[in-house]
Amino acid sequence: MSEAHPSADGLQSRRRRLEGLGTAELVELFGRLDSAERAVQFRLLQKDRAVAVFEDLDPRVQREVVDSLREEATTELFAALDPDDRAPLLDELPAGVAARLLEDLSPDERAQTMALLGYPEDSAGRRMSPQVLTLDEDTTVASALDRVRHAPESVETIYVLPVTGPRRRVHGVVSLRRLLVSDPEARVADLMVPAATVRATDSSEDAANVVRDGGYVAVPVVDTEDRLLGVLTVDDAMRVLEAADDEDAARVGGTEPLRRPYLSAPVLSVVRSRIVWLFVLILAATLTVGVQSYFEAELDAVVALALFIPLLIGTGGNAGSQAATTIVRSMAVGDVRTADVWRVLGRELLTGALLGFSLAAVGIAPAAWVAGWDIAAVLALTVVGVCSLATTVGACIPLVARRIGIDPAIVSAPFISTFVDTTGLVLYFSIAKLILGI
Amino acid sequence: MSEAHPSADGLQSRRRRLEGLGTAELVELFGRLDSAERAVQFRLLQKDRAVAVFEDLDPRVQREVVDSLREEATTELFAALDPDDRAPLLDELPAGVAARLLEDLSPDERAQTMALLGYPEDSAGRRMSPQVLTLDEDTTVASALDRVRHAPESVETIYVLPVTGPRRRVHGVVSLRRLLVSDPEARVADLMVPAATVRATDSSEDAANVVRDGGYVAVPVVDTEDRLLGVLTVDDAMRVLEAADDEDAARVGGTEPLRRPYLSAPVLSVVRSRIVWLFVLILAATLTVGVQSYFEAELDAVVALALFIPLLIGTGGNAGSQAATTIVRSMAVGDVRTADVWRVLGRELLTGALLGFSLAAVGIAPAAWVAGWDIAAVLALTVVGVCSLATTVGACIPLVARRIGIDPAIVSAPFISTFVDTTGLVLYFSIAKLILGI
């Protein structure tokens, strides 16, 4: 009855068919399906319907639905799908189902199963610990402590305990420390504090920043309806941030992250992490050859112009790198968001102009002494223009990249240098033509 | 009797005088001195003697020594000293004195007092929490839990408890979780595990890496004799690492860290964070003008050579940035140490040569088509040379910097680019002279 590799068409038509059925009909249908088909059809349901259906299922069938989602055959079936086909299939799984699905799995099994959950890669949902000890609001301190004492080893942390109400909704958290110093007869509801929570679909880096900025031991991870799915603990948050910083640092420097310690990485994999970008950059740099060919007459007429090319484009590249570095890092720690693009643009234009004027003011006399006042004037104007251009472009490209969904660190400092090289040359020769009348 | 601002000479001679005295004479001396003088003389003692003297002092005088170290006048007196004069005065303070000195201080007072402790800036000692709950080995679980319940609010963490023996030596740690699930009559010594500790004089970044890599909630901070001074908690470790990553990211990009959110920093302070490096780099780049002047005859003879200058030095700069970025980051996370310099050099020379050969192999035919086979040969050889040079220099300069005590991130990617620009030009023109016979 079930197809081994359902096509996207088959899925779409099945989805439409399911949408035509009422909850009672669906409950009845799920009682009859075989294991793999049950998993597929359940994941085809939109979330609110999945909640309703799951809650109406016979507990035995509920168990079977969860089991079918766990089975290796199901995982393989999902893995074989084209990612685009898989996406519509994976609306967020209801919290009750997700929590049961993830219970008692080994880390390996969990990683496998995560692919079924509908949380994007690098999301908080993929990094959370689903084994979590929750307390009811009406629990007394004494019985809460008793539950802590009998928590299985697999429960990740007992130092921060989410307090949940009906349907696993998170109402607050209480720390073990608070429990220990409180009256054994007190109600947990009177001791809890409002919880900082993160969504399972949030990026794991954003979630880790919440943990770090708040100085928390763990933060509850919830679904879109604030129902508890798990916790993100501080040690996992630190690992997420380390990996993110590794990646940012590598990409800002124009390489792919090695993902292993440098000295243990084979030289060929180091080469591989760098060659693509180096090649892209040299290809981009061929534009500079074109620009110089175009201005060959001017270059021949005033050979002295050539002397300052490396200095000018180097300065532009450096100014651009500085701006890009600042903005990429500010985005990583959450200080700057894509909506700030116009403010950043204004600030960087001003910053670049001020940097350019400062350099020009200091450098114009020595330049005049070496190459004469007319070339010094060309250089001074070019420095102001190149610095303004470089800081603005260097700061805005990462923001634009983020908005269109590219890792801002990829649009790295060397990339910006190469861009500035080309435009800087055009600016230089254009100003020279104008001032020197060549 | 006490001088307001003791000179280095005065300190040296007083130190020598103290060295001539026996413990009993010193004990007697400390009973007689006034407050400020007592603080100075006590800090002039070498650590082992300070331990001996402090332990023999009357408890009332002990208290007075600690108080005198806390007094504002003492802090001001120390702050007024030249750092070089202050250094010999500040041997590590004995753990017993340090712990008492730091107890019950407000965070502000603590920051002030830290300067007296002999821990270098950015050391773990400066970031630790001195309020820590310790357990004796012979304590039972029941009485340990009782102590936890009555721990003052100011105790930073109760989730990881150091177990200490005589003279505050750290014998292990026990987690609160372990205590909760254990037999109330069990001895703490039978439950504790060996402690990962850090030294108060370790850099705070290294110490934070220990916390992160081990996934600890807190790590005991000890003096050079393994005596407990405090704990470094995971939230403080995360803050240390964030600040360190901020600094590294900024410096690799050739700016000073802003130390505040980008959008709230005045434009002038952004300019200030960048202008110094930009100026240093443009000054270094004037070398490229010199190199090109030197080779002006060759440049005049074959004008086509000029066309490829930005492309060549840009590629060298990019290859150098990649290598520097990788090594700076590897050092930050502890994967590469200064002793690895020769291995790194060998690996990067090979990496650079492979990168250069790859680029030359792909680029030689198009280059020949544009500029002829002789110039293409010059370009190919130069690319191999520049890439090998750039990766080697880019990787080794940060290592050498660390060894001579400079922040490796300061010797930033743009700095290396500028260095490679100059040497790359020399290489380019030399190879051109040789092959083209000009």
Q: Are the CB atoms for A115 and B147 separated by under 8 Å?
A: no
Distance (Å) from the C-alpha of residue B127 to the closest C-alpha of chain A? 15
Q: Are the CB atoms for B23 and B53 separated by under 8 Å?
A: yes
Q: Do the bridges between strand A218-222 and strand A198-199 make them parallel or antiparallel, or are there none, so unpaired?
A: parallel
Give the integer Cα–Cα distance in Å for A227 and A229. 6
Sign for the CA dihedral angle at A411, A415, A420, A426 comes to negative
Contact B355 A310 (CB under 8 A): no
Helices and strands (H and E) in chain A: how many? 21, 6
Give the integer Cα–Cα distance in Å for B215 and A269. 29
- pLDDT beneath 70, residues of chain A: 1-10, 70-118, 410-414
% of chain A exceeding 70 in pLDDT:
85
Cα–Cα nearest to A250, from B322, B316, B353, B229: B322
Most confidently modeled range among A413-427, B186-200, B240-254, B401-415: B186-200
The structural domains of chain B, ordered by start, are 8-118 (1.25.60), 135-250 (3.10.580.10), 262-436 (1.10.357.20)
Give the integer Cα–Cα distance in Å for A206 and A334. 8
Where do the DSSP E strands lie in A42-131?
none
In chain B, residues with a C-beta closer than 8 Å to the C-beta of A177 are 158-159
Q: Which residues pair with B22 in a beta bridge?
A: none
Choose the mutation target among A159, A247, A248, A262 for the interface with B, i.e. most B CBs under 10 Å: A262
Contact B271 A421 (CB under 8 A): no
Structure tokens at A136: 């009811």
- Helix crossing, B234-252 with A204-214: angle to 10°? 120
The band of B213, judged by pLDDT with boundaries at 50, 70 and 90, is confident
The pLDDT value given to residue B113: 62
pLDDT digits (tens, 9 = 90+) for A134-162: 999 999 999 999 999 988 887 888 999 99
User: Which residue has better confidence, B327 or A130?
Assistant: B327
Give the integer Cα–Cα distance in Å for A423 and A389. 9
Binding-face residues of B in 349-388 toward A, CB within 8 A = 350-351, 354-355, 358-359, 362-363, 370
The pLDDT value given to residue A2: 42
Contact B308 A328 (CB under 8 A): no
- Residue A430: is it exposed, middle or buried by C-beta count within 10 angstroms (0-12/13-18/19+)? middle
**Closest CB from A217, A310, A327 relative to B421:** A310
Distance (Å) from the C-alpha of residue A334 to the closest C-alpha of chain B? 9
pLDDT digits (tens, 9 = 90+) for B344-403: 999 999 999 999 999 999 989 988 988 889 999 999 999 999 999 999 999 988 888 888
Q: Which ipTM value was assigned to this complex?
A: 0.71
User: Which residue has better confidence, B71 or A300?
Assistant: A300
Give the integer Cα–Cα distance in Å for A89 and A18. 13
Touching check for B338 and chain A: CB below 8 Å? Answer: no
